[in-house]
Protein backbone atom coordinates (compact mmCIF):
# COMPACT_ATOMS: atom_id res chain seq x y z
CA UNK A 1 0.00 0.00 0.00
CA UNK A 2 1.37 3.38 -0.97
CA UNK A 3 1.99 6.17 1.50
CA UNK A 4 -0.59 8.23 -0.42
CA UNK A 5 -3.30 5.74 0.51
CA UNK A 6 -2.39 5.90 4.20
CA UNK A 7 -2.07 9.67 4.14
CA UNK A 8 -5.50 10.07 2.53
CA UNK A 9 -7.25 8.65 5.56
CA UNK A 10 -4.83 10.07 8.10
CA UNK A 11 -5.52 13.60 6.91
CA UNK A 12 -2.44 14.34 4.83
CA UNK A 13 -4.39 14.13 1.56
CA UNK A 14 -7.94 14.13 0.21
CA UNK A 15 -10.39 12.03 2.17
CA UNK A 16 -11.14 8.56 0.95
CA UNK A 17 -14.42 8.03 -0.87
CA UNK A 18 -16.99 5.41 0.15
CA UNK A 19 -20.19 4.39 -1.59
CA UNK A 20 -22.98 2.68 0.36
CA UNK A 21 -25.90 1.03 -1.43
CA UNK A 22 -29.37 1.18 0.08
CA UNK A 23 -28.07 4.06 2.16
CA UNK A 24 -31.13 6.30 2.32
CA UNK A 25 -32.64 4.54 5.32
CA UNK A 26 -32.21 1.81 7.88
CA UNK A 27 -28.83 0.23 8.51
CA UNK A 28 -27.43 1.73 5.30
CA UNK A 29 -28.18 5.21 6.60
CA UNK A 30 -26.39 4.50 9.88
CA UNK A 31 -23.38 3.12 7.99
CA UNK A 32 -23.23 6.18 5.75
CA UNK A 33 -23.44 8.49 8.77
CA UNK A 34 -20.63 6.69 10.59
CA UNK A 35 -18.35 6.64 7.54
CA UNK A 36 -18.96 10.35 7.07
CA UNK A 37 -18.23 11.02 10.74
CA UNK A 38 -15.00 9.04 10.35
CA UNK A 39 -13.82 11.47 7.66
CA UNK A 40 -14.87 9.73 4.46
CA UNK A 41 -16.57 11.41 1.56
CA UNK A 42 -19.72 9.36 1.22
CA UNK A 43 -21.98 8.61 -1.73
CA UNK A 44 -25.53 7.82 -0.64
CA UNK A 45 -26.62 5.32 -3.30
CA UNK A 46 -30.26 4.31 -3.33
CA UNK A 47 -33.10 3.53 -5.70
CA UNK A 48 -35.02 6.31 -3.91
CA UNK A 49 -33.10 9.38 -5.08
CA UNK A 50 -35.20 11.87 -3.12
CA UNK A 51 -34.48 10.07 0.16
CA UNK A 52 -30.81 9.79 -0.76
CA UNK A 53 -30.66 13.51 -1.45
CA UNK A 54 -32.31 14.29 1.87
CA UNK A 55 -29.68 12.31 3.77
CA UNK A 56 -26.80 13.75 1.75
CA UNK A 57 -28.09 17.24 2.49
CA UNK A 58 -28.28 16.49 6.22
CA UNK A 59 -24.70 15.23 6.19
CA UNK A 60 -23.33 18.12 4.12
CA UNK A 61 -25.61 20.58 2.39
CA UNK A 62 -22.69 21.89 0.33
CA UNK A 63 -22.18 18.52 -1.36
CA UNK A 64 -18.46 18.63 -0.62
CA UNK A 65 -18.37 15.46 1.45
CA UNK A 66 -21.72 13.81 0.76
CA UNK A 67 -23.69 13.29 -2.43
CA UNK A 68 -26.67 11.28 -3.59
CA UNK A 69 -26.70 8.77 -6.43
CA UNK A 70 -29.68 6.92 -7.90
CA UNK A 71 -28.70 3.27 -8.08
CA UNK A 72 -30.78 0.19 -8.78
CA UNK A 73 -28.52 -2.62 -7.59
CA UNK A 74 -30.09 -5.05 -10.06
CA UNK A 75 -28.53 -3.10 -12.95
CA UNK A 76 -24.84 -3.36 -13.76
CA UNK A 77 -25.02 -0.13 -15.76
CA UNK A 78 -26.10 1.72 -12.59
CA UNK A 79 -22.99 0.56 -10.74
CA UNK A 80 -20.82 1.62 -13.66
CA UNK A 81 -22.52 5.01 -13.77
CA UNK A 82 -22.01 5.44 -10.01
CA UNK A 83 -18.32 4.61 -10.35
CA UNK A 84 -17.91 7.09 -13.20
CA UNK A 85 -19.82 9.77 -11.30
CA UNK A 86 -17.53 9.44 -8.29
CA UNK A 87 -14.45 9.61 -10.50
CA UNK A 88 -15.80 12.80 -12.05
CA UNK A 89 -16.93 14.37 -8.77
CA UNK A 90 -14.23 13.32 -6.34
CA UNK A 91 -11.48 11.84 -8.46
CA UNK A 92 -11.78 8.31 -7.15
CA UNK A 93 -13.45 5.80 -4.86
CA UNK A 94 -11.83 3.35 -2.47
CA UNK A 95 -14.63 1.75 -0.42
CA UNK A 96 -17.76 -0.11 -1.52
CA UNK A 97 -20.38 -1.19 1.02
CA UNK A 98 -22.96 -3.56 -0.45
CA UNK A 99 -25.87 -3.03 1.92
CA UNK A 100 -29.03 -2.77 -0.21
CA UNK A 101 -31.49 -5.58 0.46
CA UNK A 102 -35.13 -6.58 0.40
CA UNK A 103 -36.33 -8.29 3.57
CA UNK A 104 -39.54 -10.30 3.34
CA UNK A 105 -41.04 -12.76 5.81
CA UNK A 106 -43.37 -14.79 3.58
CA UNK A 107 -43.73 -18.42 4.78
CA UNK A 108 -41.66 -20.70 2.58
CA UNK A 109 -44.61 -22.62 1.12
CA UNK A 110 -46.27 -19.35 0.10
CA UNK A 111 -43.32 -17.74 -1.72
CA UNK A 112 -44.08 -17.37 -5.41
CA UNK A 113 -41.33 -17.91 -8.00
CA UNK A 114 -41.56 -14.22 -8.88
CA UNK A 115 -41.13 -13.11 -5.25
CA UNK A 116 -38.20 -15.45 -4.77
CA UNK A 117 -36.44 -14.08 -7.85
CA UNK A 118 -37.15 -10.47 -6.85
CA UNK A 119 -35.50 -10.87 -3.45
CA UNK A 120 -32.51 -12.80 -4.79
CA UNK A 121 -32.02 -10.32 -7.64
CA UNK A 122 -31.78 -7.39 -5.23
CA UNK A 123 -29.81 -9.03 -2.44
CA UNK A 124 -27.49 -11.49 -4.14
CA UNK A 125 -27.27 -10.20 -7.71
CA UNK A 126 -26.88 -6.67 -6.35
CA UNK A 127 -23.95 -7.68 -4.17
CA UNK A 128 -22.38 -9.63 -7.03
CA UNK A 129 -22.58 -6.64 -9.36
CA UNK A 130 -21.20 -4.26 -6.72
CA UNK A 131 -18.26 -6.56 -6.06
CA UNK A 132 -17.64 -7.11 -9.76
CA UNK A 133 -17.78 -3.49 -10.93
CA UNK A 134 -16.01 -1.87 -7.99
CA UNK A 135 -13.71 -4.83 -7.36
CA UNK A 136 -12.43 -4.55 -10.92
CA UNK A 137 -11.88 -0.82 -10.48
CA UNK A 138 -10.15 -1.24 -7.13
CA UNK A 139 -7.96 -4.03 -8.45
CA UNK A 140 -6.83 -1.93 -11.40
CA UNK A 141 -5.82 0.80 -8.95
CA UNK A 142 -4.10 -1.54 -6.49
CA UNK A 143 -6.25 -0.69 -3.48
CA UNK A 144 -9.79 -1.03 -2.23
CA UNK A 145 -12.11 -2.20 0.52
CA UNK A 146 -15.39 -4.03 -0.06
CA UNK A 147 -17.75 -4.79 2.82
CA UNK A 148 -20.83 -6.93 2.15
CA UNK A 149 -23.80 -7.04 4.50
CA UNK A 150 -24.76 -10.68 4.93
CA UNK A 151 -26.90 -11.96 7.80
CA UNK A 152 -27.28 -14.53 10.53
CA UNK A 153 -30.16 -15.77 8.37
CA UNK A 154 -27.64 -16.90 5.78
CA UNK A 155 -25.91 -19.05 8.39
CA UNK A 156 -28.75 -20.69 10.29
CA UNK A 157 -31.86 -19.98 8.21
CA UNK A 158 -32.81 -17.00 10.35
CA UNK A 159 -35.12 -16.37 13.27
CA UNK A 160 -37.90 -14.62 11.34
CA UNK A 161 -36.74 -13.93 7.78
CA UNK A 162 -38.11 -15.58 4.66
CA UNK A 163 -36.36 -18.43 2.87
CA UNK A 164 -35.55 -16.22 -0.12
CA UNK A 165 -33.89 -13.64 2.13
CA UNK A 166 -31.91 -16.30 4.02
CA UNK A 167 -30.82 -17.98 0.79
CA UNK A 168 -29.65 -14.70 -0.74
CA UNK A 169 -27.62 -13.88 2.38
CA UNK A 170 -26.02 -17.33 2.35
CA UNK A 171 -24.98 -16.63 -1.23
CA UNK A 172 -23.40 -13.34 -0.17
CA UNK A 173 -21.18 -15.19 2.30
CA UNK A 174 -19.89 -17.42 -0.50
CA UNK A 175 -19.49 -14.52 -2.95
CA UNK A 176 -17.43 -12.71 -0.34
CA UNK A 177 -14.92 -15.56 -0.26
CA UNK A 178 -14.82 -15.85 -4.04
CA UNK A 179 -14.13 -12.15 -4.59
CA UNK A 180 -11.69 -12.09 -1.68
CA UNK A 181 -9.60 -14.79 -3.38
CA UNK A 182 -9.84 -13.09 -6.75
CA UNK A 183 -8.74 -9.66 -5.50
CA UNK A 184 -6.37 -10.48 -2.63
CA UNK A 185 -3.27 -10.05 -4.77
CA UNK A 186 -4.37 -6.61 -5.95
CA UNK A 187 -4.54 -4.74 -2.66
CA UNK A 188 -8.28 -5.27 -2.31
CA UNK A 189 -10.00 -6.86 0.69
CA UNK A 190 -13.52 -8.27 0.64
CA UNK A 191 -15.29 -9.05 3.90
CA UNK A 192 -18.81 -9.68 5.14
CA UNK A 193 -20.68 -8.76 8.29
CA UNK A 194 -23.42 -11.15 9.40
CA UNK A 195 -25.72 -9.39 11.88
CA UNK A 196 -28.47 -11.02 13.87
CA UNK A 197 -31.66 -9.15 14.81
CA UNK A 198 -30.92 -5.41 14.93
CA UNK A 199 -32.73 -2.67 16.80
CA UNK A 200 -34.04 -0.79 13.78
CA UNK A 201 -37.50 0.64 13.06
CA UNK A 202 -37.93 -1.74 10.10
CA UNK A 203 -37.30 -4.75 12.33
CA UNK A 204 -39.80 -3.60 14.94
CA UNK A 205 -42.33 -2.83 12.20
CA UNK A 206 -42.01 -6.19 10.46
CA UNK A 207 -42.04 -8.48 13.51
CA UNK A 208 -45.08 -8.40 15.83
CA UNK A 209 -44.12 -7.02 19.28
CA UNK A 210 -44.99 -10.24 21.08
CA UNK A 211 -42.98 -12.37 18.69
CA UNK A 212 -40.03 -9.96 18.81
CA UNK A 213 -39.99 -9.98 22.60
CA UNK A 214 -40.10 -13.76 22.50
CA UNK A 215 -37.03 -13.76 20.25
CA UNK A 216 -35.23 -11.40 22.63
CA UNK A 217 -36.15 -13.46 25.68
CA UNK A 218 -35.80 -16.98 24.32
CA UNK A 219 -33.62 -16.95 21.19
CA UNK A 220 -30.92 -14.32 21.70
CA UNK A 221 -28.58 -15.46 24.51
CA UNK A 222 -27.65 -11.88 25.49
CA UNK A 223 -31.36 -10.90 25.59
CA UNK A 224 -31.07 -7.74 23.53
CA UNK A 225 -31.21 -6.59 19.91
CA UNK A 226 -28.06 -5.61 18.06
CA UNK A 227 -26.85 -2.01 17.99
CA UNK A 228 -26.83 -0.68 14.39
CA UNK A 229 -24.19 1.87 15.38
CA UNK A 230 -21.79 -0.90 16.40
CA UNK A 231 -22.34 -2.64 13.07
CA UNK A 232 -21.63 0.64 11.29
CA UNK A 233 -18.46 1.08 13.32
CA UNK A 234 -17.41 -2.42 12.24
CA UNK A 235 -17.87 -1.37 8.62
CA UNK A 236 -15.65 1.66 9.26
CA UNK A 237 -13.06 -0.65 10.86
CA UNK A 238 -13.04 -3.03 7.87
CA UNK A 239 -12.90 -0.10 5.43
CA UNK A 240 -9.70 1.29 6.92
CA UNK A 241 -6.25 0.94 5.32
CA UNK A 242 -5.14 -0.89 8.47
CA UNK A 243 -7.57 -3.73 7.67
CA UNK A 244 -5.38 -5.10 4.88
CA UNK A 245 -4.76 -8.43 6.65
CA UNK A 246 -8.46 -9.24 6.91
CA UNK A 247 -10.15 -10.68 3.83
CA UNK A 248 -12.69 -13.38 3.05
CA UNK A 249 -14.00 -13.17 6.61
CA UNK A 250 -17.54 -13.09 7.96
CA UNK A 251 -17.83 -11.05 11.14
CA UNK A 252 -20.62 -12.47 13.30
CA UNK A 253 -22.59 -9.93 15.34
CA UNK A 254 -25.58 -11.89 16.58
CA UNK A 255 -25.80 -11.84 20.37
CA UNK A 256 -24.61 -15.43 20.62
CA UNK A 257 -27.36 -17.00 18.51
CA UNK A 258 -24.82 -18.60 16.17
CA UNK A 259 -21.38 -19.56 17.48
CA UNK A 260 -18.58 -21.26 15.56
143 flagged as catalytic:
no
- Options 122, 165, 170, 171, the catalytic residue: 165
Q: Where are the alpha helices (DSSP H) in 113-250?
A: 113-120, 126-141, 153-156, 163-183, 201-206, 209-218, 228-239
Q: What is the CA radius of gyration of the chain?
A: 18
Question: What distance in Å separates the CA atoms of residue 50 and residue 12, rounded to the nearest whole number?
Answer: 34
Angle, CA 190 vertex, CA 136 and CA 93 arms, to 5°: 50
Instruction: Indicate the SS3 state at residue 259.
Output: coil
Question: What distance in Å separates the CA atoms of residue 14 and residue 188, rounded to the nearest whole number?
Answer: 20
Torsion on CA atoms 170, 27, 238, 182, rounded to nearest 10 = 40
Question: What distance in Å separates the CA atoms of residue 79 and residue 135, rounded to the nearest whole number?
Answer: 11
Residue 201 CB partners (closer than 8 Å, separation 6+): 26
Question: What distance in Å separates the CA atoms of residue 93 and residue 87, rounded to the nearest whole number?
Answer: 7
Question: What distance in Å separates the CA atoms of residue 240 and residue 102, rounded to the nearest whole number?
Answer: 27
Q: From edge to edge, which strands make up the β-sheet containing 41-46?
A: 66-70, 41-46, 17-21, 95-98, 144-149, 188-195, 250-253
Catalytic (active-site) positions: 165
Amino acid sequence: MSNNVVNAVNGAGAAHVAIVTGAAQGLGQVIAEHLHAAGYRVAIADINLDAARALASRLDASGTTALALKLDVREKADFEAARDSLLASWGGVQVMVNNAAVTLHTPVMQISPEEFSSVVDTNLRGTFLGCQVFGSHFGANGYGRIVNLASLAGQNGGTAAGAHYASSKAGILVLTKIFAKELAGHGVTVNAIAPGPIDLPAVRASVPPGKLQGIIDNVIPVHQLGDPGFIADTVVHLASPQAGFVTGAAWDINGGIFMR
